[in-house]
Amino acid sequence: MHTSVPVPGSKSETNRALVLGALADGPSSLRGGLDARDTALMRDALRRLGTVIDDSDPERWQIEPPAEPSGDGLIDCGLAGTVMRFVPPIAAFASGEFRFDGDAEARERPLGPLLTALDDLGARIAGQPVGLPFDITGRPDLPGGPVALDASGSSQYISGLLLAGARYRRGVDVRHIGESPVPSRPHVEMTVAMLRERGVRVDTGEENRWVVWPGPIAARNLVIEPDLSNAAVFAAAAAVAGGHITIPDWPTRTRQPGDRIRDILTAFGAVVELDGRGLTVTGGHSLQAVELDLRDASELTPVVAAIAALADGTSTITGVGHIRGHETDRLAALENELNGLGSHVRQTDDGLVIEPRLLHGGTFASYADHRMAHAAALLGLVVPDVVVDDIDCTAKTMPDFPRRWQAMIDDSQRYT
């Protein structure tokens, strides 16, 4: 590998910026917003709630919020956790009747604690649904106030409540009461920081409690960072296949948990440098086994598990039991698919144990999960005849992943 691979904008930042733009007190703009399925679904969902979003210029999207969210009809969540967890808290105080649904796989994703919390805050949700599909009749006078929920299944329950909370009559005072910790904490911190940057008061002095004060959300123009979780698979390519890869525009300070890939690749034995050119990863030596708690950066698990399957000792990944509720049950999927290529992987309660084996080719199922497809692509660099059944599922967060991946390989071959 000898090339530079730019990656598009962060899904997490883009969808937060869209939501906050739709709830703001004036027009906002977004530069470098990610144009992918998850963010197209978010734009459509917010349009259904009365927001005008002009994305005709790919460089700069304009967001014109409604005075009060209103609309009706179907909100398609696809397989996007951010849409199914960030938009219902908005529909809850909009005027209109909304049905939320999504892909077959999305109906399996957990949502119960968020819907119960919204119900406790005064929302009108038909029946007692624990997942998609469900119906909400909005209530512009939604009281809000204190609410307790178990957010050990997803940090997105907390983020969703906080993002809309400033627009509830009494704001929102959220407590996590689960026995296990909230996963993906940096994503909650990203939510809090983006609210504060828009003038919203958020108190976080107490462990597992977030208080959002009622008030306006200031409009803001924002430049979105590259998506570091999507960048991880390209950075890992150099660690796995040797040579070096640079990801330009890697931020020197960021709230994205994908930034952890720098330490992770270093632990595997790659050389990782962050400087004016961006992030450069140099590989070529054998990969060392790792012991990693990925609770804070759980979306990296499929790529990290694929690297670990190529390491020279037994690796363990812990802290990620909740990823059974991601796009697919990622622990089961990784166990099945890595073992299908000859690996020796075992699920534990909250992670994976991956023993070294010589891998062989075979079909690697993606289960509609973009990051499973990333894992397969990575293994295919060094294991002959790995076939991923559905590379197109990468469109969830990067529509041109196949082209970028091929370009990375072609560029490297030209160089050698």
Ligand X SMILES: C=C(OP(=O)(O)O)C(=O)O
* Contact of residue 155 among ligand X, ligand S3P, none (CB under 5-8 Å per partner type): ligand S3P
Q: CB 299 → ligand X: shortest distance, Å?
A: 3
Please, which residue, 5 or 398, has the CB nearer to ligand X? Answer: 398
Binding mask 325-354 for ligand X (x = CB under 6 A): -x----------------------------
Chain residues binding ligand S3P by CB under 6 A are 12, 81-82, 154-156, 159, 183-184, 187, 298-299
Residue type, 27: P
The answer to whether 14 contacts ligand X (rule: CB under 6 A) is no
Task: Find out whether 41 and 76 touch, Cβ atoms under 8 Å.
Answer: yes
375, with CB counted inside 10 A (0-12, 13-18, 19+), is: buried
Q: Choose, from 13, 197, 273, 299, the residue flagged as catalytic.
A: 299
* Contact of residue 230 among ligand S3P, ligand X, none (CB under 5-8 Å per partner type): none
Residues of span 78-97 touching ligand X by CB under 6 A: 80-82
Where do we find the tokens 């199922």?
365
Run of H or E including 202:
strand 202-203
Integer Cα distance of 233 and 416 in angstroms: 21
The interface region with ligand X, picked from 66-74, 76-84, 251-259, 381-389 by CB under 6 A, is 76-84
Active site residue 337: no
Helix (H, G, I), strand (E, B) or coil at 123: coil
* Contact of residue 187 among ligand X, ligand S3P, none (CB under 5-8 Å per partner type): ligand S3P
Question: How far, in Å, are 192, 274, 308, 374, 398 from residue 391 at the CA level?
Answer: 34, 30, 22, 8, 11
Please, which residue, 185 or 357, has the CB nearer to ligand X? Answer: 185
* Contact of residue 302 among ligand S3P, ligand X, none (CB under 5-8 Å per partner type): none
Q: What is the DSSP string of 223-291?
A: EPPB-HHHHHHHHHHHHHH-EEEEETT--SS---GGGGHHHHHHHHT-EEEEETTEEEEEE-SPPPP-E
Q: CB 67 → ligand X: shortest distance, Å?
A: 29
The answer to whether 48 contacts ligand X (rule: CB under 6 A) is no
Integer Cα distance of 401 and 181 in angstroms: 33
Task: Find out whether 50 and 70 touch, Cβ atoms under 8 Å.
Answer: yes
Catalytic site positions: 299
- Interface ranges with ligand X (CB under 6 A): 80-82, 299, 326, 371, 397
